[in-house]
Amino acid sequence: MEEVAIVGVGQSTFTRKCGVSVRELCFQAYKEAMEGLDITKDDIDASIVCSAPEYDKQRTPSGLISEYLELTPKPTFYVESVCSSSSTGLRVAWSLIKSGLHKVVAVIGFQKMSELTSREAAERMGRGGDIIWESPFGITMPAGYAMYARAHMAKYDTTEEQMAMVRVKNSSYGARNPKANYRKELSIDDVMNSDVITSPLKMFDCCANCDGSSSIIVARGDVAKRVSKIPIWVIGVGAATDTMTMSGRKSVTGLECSQEAARQAYEMAGVKPEDIDVAEVHDCFTISEILAYEDLGFAKPGEGARLIEEKQTYADGKIPVNVDGGLLSKGHPIGATGGSQIRTIVRQLRGEATEAQVKGAEIGLVHNVGGVGQYGNVTILRR
C-alpha cells in the first residue's frame, strides 16, 4: 500500500472576530500550506472541508470553499465530527490516497464562531450530545467536562491547583505563538481566582470560542518526496466513537474513545507511548489535558496530574505537550482545531517551531476529541 505524507500545513491567526468571510478565512490557511511546495492547485485532485454545522448561514460549505480556492471541478467532500472534524478529515484523505483514488488531497478546516453570541454558541455545542436525553438538561461542554473533573478528583484526589497548572504551562507557550488568540501568561492565582463557569472549572480552565482556519496538504509517497523538502509521514491513525449519552459510558475518569484510538494508532505505527517525542492533545479544558496524559499512556490512570506538577510536559520535559499553547491559549475554532494541532506537530518534526522547538523531535502525536468524548482521533507522524 502507498505511503502517505503531509507536505504542507497552514493556519490563520485564531481570533475572537476575524472580520472576513468564511471563504477568505480558509484561503489564509490554504495559502500558507501551499508555500514552498513544488505543486499548484492543478495537482490537487480532491479536497475535504471540515467544520461543525450551524455556526454560520452557509449550507454545504465544501462547494463554496472549493470554488474559491479554484479546486473545481475536482471532487470535494464535507466531513464533520464536531471538534475533531479536521483530524477526521486527515484520516479520510489518508484513506483516499491509500485506496489509489487520489494522489494529492487538501484538507481545509474552519469555523467562524463570531456570528453567534456566547450563549448561542454554547447551545449549539451542547447539541453535539443527545438532544433528547442530555443537552436539554444542561449538558453543555463545560458541564460535561466538569463532571469528568469531579469524578477524577473524587477517585484520584486530583486538585483544582493541579488543573490550573495546565493553564499556566499552556499560557506560557501561547504567549510566544503569533497565531494564538490569547497571548498572555497566567499564574496559578490568575486561574484559581477567575470566575467559576461550572464548578470546579473556572474561566481560565476553559478554552475560548474563536474564528480560524487550518489547512493540510496530503500526498502519496512518491509525490511527497518530489514536491517537499521534508515530508512528514503519517504512520498511525486511530479513531473511535463512544456513546452520545454520558450515562452510557463505562467510565467518567477517562475517555474510552481516546484510549481505543490511541491503541489503534500505536499498533499501526509500531511505537509505544514512550517513543513519542512531542504531542498535541485536546485541552478544551484543563482537566482534558490531564485525562489525555492517562488515556494516551503517558501516565498511569490517576497519575496524570503528577506529570504537570513535575513539569514533565514542558518543552524540556519527559513528554512535551501543547508547547504551542494548546486550545486553552490558541482558542478553539471547532473545525480548524485538529488541523492546527497537526500543523504544530509537522513544524516540530521539521525543526521549524522556533517559538518552542523540542530538540531532536522525530515522532509526534496528535490527539483530537469531538464533543464530550463522543469522537476520538489519534494520529502519529514521523519525520
The CATH number that applies at residue 104 is 3.40.47.10
What are the beta bridge partners of residue 11?
A: 214
Please name the residues in contact with 97: beta carbons below 8 A apart, sequence gap of 6 or more: 2, 4, 103, 105, 218, 219, 220
Are 218 and 288 found together in one domain? no
Are 226 and 290 found together in one domain? no
Are 151 and 228 found together in one domain? no
DSSP structure string for 21-34: -HHHHHHHHHHHHH
Please name the residues in contact with 30: beta carbons below 8 A apart, sequence gap of 6 or more: 10, 69, 106, 108, 213, 215
Would you state the pLDDT for residue 107? 98
Are 267 and 197 found together in one domain? yes
Task: Name the residue among 128, 14, 32, 111 with its Cα closest to residue 65.
Answer: 111
Would you state the pLDDT for residue 116? 82
Alpha-carbon distance 80 to 162, whole Å?
A: 33
From the number of C-beta atoms within 10 Å of its C-beta (0-12, 13-18, 19+), residue 179 rates as buried
Alpha-carbon distance 197 to 200, whole Å?
A: 8
Task: Name the residue among 224, 238, 234, 216 with its Cα closest to residue 47.
Answer: 216
Are 221 and 281 found together in one domain? no
Task: Name the residue among 264, 256, 296, 261 with its Cα closest to residue 278.
Answer: 296
Across 242-341, the runs of DSSP E, i.e. the strands, are 278-280
What are the beta bridge partners of residue 219?
A: 5, 104
Would you state the pLDDT for residue 24? 97
Would you state the pLDDT for residue 121? 77
As annotated, the active-site residues are 83, 332
Alpha-carbon distance 256 to 241, whole Å?
A: 8
Are 69 and 184 found together in one domain? no
Are 220 and 157 found together in one domain? no
- Which residues of the chain have a pLDDT value below 70? 1
Are 26 and 104 found together in one domain? yes
Per the structure, the count of domains in the chain is 2
Domain encompassing residue 173:
122-205+238-382
Reduce the DSSP state of residue 317 to 3 states and report it: coil
Would you state the pLDDT for residue 326? 98
Would you state the pLDDT for residue 355? 84
Q: Decide: 22 and 112 in contact? Cβ < 8 Å.
A: yes
Cα separations in angstroms, 86 against 25, 206, 319, 339, 378: 15, 21, 24, 5, 12
Are 34 and 152 found together in one domain? no
Alpha-carbon distance 134 to 291, whole Å?
A: 22
Alpha-carbon distance 106 to 91, whole Å?
A: 12
* Integer-rounded Cα radius of gyration of the chain: 19
Would you state the pLDDT for residue 338? 98
Q: Name the grid cell of 244.
A: 452520545
Are 31 and 77 found together in one domain? yes
Which residue has 474510552 as its cell numbers?
A: 256
Are 165 and 258 found together in one domain? yes
Would you state the pLDDT for residue 246? 84
Task: Name the residue among 11, 67, 8, 3 with its Cα closest to residue 338.
Answer: 11
Element (H, E) at 365: strand 363-370
Are 255 and 304 found together in one domain? yes
Would you state the pLDDT for residue 307? 97
Would you state the pLDDT for residue 137? 80
